[in-house]
Amino acid sequence: MWRLIRRRFVLTLVGLVVASLGVLWSLQGAGAVHVRPILCFANCKPIAGTSGGWLFGGVVALLAGLGLVWVELRHSNHRRTK
């Protein structure tokens, strides 16, 4: 029982983190938010203006995170009704 609750909690938390990163990346790709690079391994340049790659990646991450949260919550509610 506790394993199941912990699994649901962790997957919901992961979904929320991925969705939050998706929002940040989307805003960064749209040029609404400017974040300096934190960890750089190669070419460390901040994104200037808009970036379609960051915008697209952010939307995909947002949808994936929200989808994970939705599936976990729906699965949780489905188990309670049985």
38-75 pLDDT, tens per residue? 777 777 776 667 788 889 999 999 999 999 999 988 87
Take residue 77 and report the two structure tokens written for it.
């509610």
Q: Which residue has the higher pLDDT, 76 or 67?
A: 67
pLDDT surpasses 60 at 24: yes
Mean pLDDT over the full length of the chain:
84
Give the predicted TM-score (pTM) of the model. 0.78
* Percent over 70 (pLDDT), the chain: 87
Name the CA radius of gyration of the chain, rounded: 17
Closest CA to 29 of 48, 12, 50: 50
